[in-house]
């Protein structure tokens, strides 16, 4: 039915509108000059470290595709995979619905390298599993070692339940590793099947995925003002909550949703400094990669057109 095609885009747009309304209400009394002053106040060291963290984050995202290709046993040149992964995530992070938009981009790119639809489907599934597994692992560690992180959103201490939730997440990751060790049967959905990743693949997932999350959170941490900064581990926890909710909302680029949740998590800090750091994050993690990715797409399509004419 046609309404299904538009359901999630409408949900995403509605989430953006509602979040922007909340954001404007939260930032009432703050002028653009205040925000600009907050950006200017970020020291050169903070800019350099934030930029470096962004590079590490996208290098780790490229590892997602390398891991998936290793799992399905397909060989593609290192440079092509890296550019394809970078372009996929740079576009899908901004478009929203990263699993579906990423699948379309990857199918177009990897199809030129001999991968069929089922290969791309498995590749997308492994990349998604790597992201979810990494999020569960890092979130579990944060909840165990920093249980008061949830207090920043609920306003009521639930340290026992929070730690229990963290332990449950870590046990879930352990169960995933144990399943790999047991060589469980592949998951079958009709003619489509996904084989359980081998232990060397799982080890790569548990290394590369968390590095990407740690680096992405570091972009904001290094751009935050020193005054009132709760430390990297708390910023990481707030980032995980904000990023997860932004992903669930299907809002393009998590616009508004990400900012509202993050400001709530760091409500004790000057909102001008927090907003300035979030703008730096959008610059390095979304805007600059998007511009580069558009250039890569144009070059790729031009090269394919040239091959077609020959």
* Block residue for tokens 């992201």: 131
Mean pLDDT in residue range 33-50: 89
- At 5, is the pLDDT very low, low, confident or very high (cuts 50, 70, 90)? low
The DSSP line for 9-48 is: HHHHHHHHHHHHHHHHHHTTT--HHHHHHHHHTS-HHHHH
Phi, psi of 184 (to 5 degrees): -65, 160
As a whole number, the mean pLDDT across the chain is 83
pLDDT at 136: 95
pLDDT at 134: 95
pLDDT at 189: 66
pTM for this model (two decimals): 0.85
Higher pLDDT, 22 or 227: 227
The DSSP line for 97-117 is: -HHHHHHHHHHHHHGGGT--H
Long-range CB contacts (< 8 A, 24+ apart) of 282-288?
282/253, 284/50, 284/51, 284/53, 284/54, 284/219, 285/54, 285/57, 285/93, 285/216, 285/219, 286/90, 286/93, 286/94, 286/253, 288/54
Nearest Cα to Cα of residue 275 among 73, 90, 34, 77: 34
pLDDT at 159: 77
On whether the CB atoms of residues 68 and 54 are closer than 8 A, the answer is no
Rg, C-alpha atoms of the chain = 20
For residue 260, what are its two tokens?
Answer: 């509202």
Higher pLDDT, 114 or 130: 130
Nearest Cα to Cα of residue 202 among 82, 67, 81, 74: 67
Sign of the alpha-carbon dihedral angle for 270, 276, 280, 283? positive
pLDDT at 45: 95
Mean pLDDT in residue range 167-179: 94
- At 118, is the pLDDT very low, low, confident or very high (cuts 50, 70, 90)? confident
pLDDT at 132: 92
On whether the CB atoms of residues 56 and 240 are closer than 8 A, the answer is no
């Amino acid at each position: 039915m046609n309404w299904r095609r538009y359901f999630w885009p409408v949900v995403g747009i509605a989430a953006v509108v509602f979040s922007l309304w909340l954001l404007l209400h939260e930032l009432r009394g703050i002028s653009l000059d205040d925000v600009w002053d907050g950006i200017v106040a970020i020291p050169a060291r903070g800019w350099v470290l934030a930029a470096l963290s962004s590079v590490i984050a996208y290098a780790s995202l490229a590892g997602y595709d390398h891991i998936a290709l290793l799992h399905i046993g397909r060989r593609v040149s290192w440079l092509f995979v890296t550019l394809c992964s970078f372009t996929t995530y740079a576009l899908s992070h901004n478009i929203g619905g990263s699993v579906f938009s990423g699948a379309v981009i990857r199918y177009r790119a990897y199809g030129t390298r001999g991968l069929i639809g089922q290969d791309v489907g498995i590749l997308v599934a492994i990349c998604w599993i790597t992201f979810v597994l990494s999020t569960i692992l890092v979130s579990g560690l944060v909840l165990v070692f920093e249980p008061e992180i949830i207090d920043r959103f609920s306003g009521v201490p639930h340290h026992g339940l929070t730690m229990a939730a963290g332990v449950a997440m870590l046990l879930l990751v352990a169960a995933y590793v144990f399943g790999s060790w047991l060589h469980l049967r592949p998951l079958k959905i009709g003619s489509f099947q996904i084989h359980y990743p081998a232990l060397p693949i799982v080890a790569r997932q548990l290394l590369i995925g968390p590095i990407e999350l740690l680096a992405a959170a570091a972009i904001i941490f290094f751009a935050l003002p020193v005054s009132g900064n709760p430390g990297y581990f708390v910023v990481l926890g707030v980032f995980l909550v904000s990023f997860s909710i932004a992903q669930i909302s299907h809002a393009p680029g998590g616009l508004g949703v990400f900012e509202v949740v993050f400001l709530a998590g760091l409500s004790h800090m000057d909102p001008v400094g927090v907003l300035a750091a979030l703008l730096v994050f959008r610059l390095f993690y979304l805007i600059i990669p998007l511009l580069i990715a558009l250039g890569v797409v144009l070059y790729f399509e031009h090269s394919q057109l040239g091959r077609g004419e020959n």
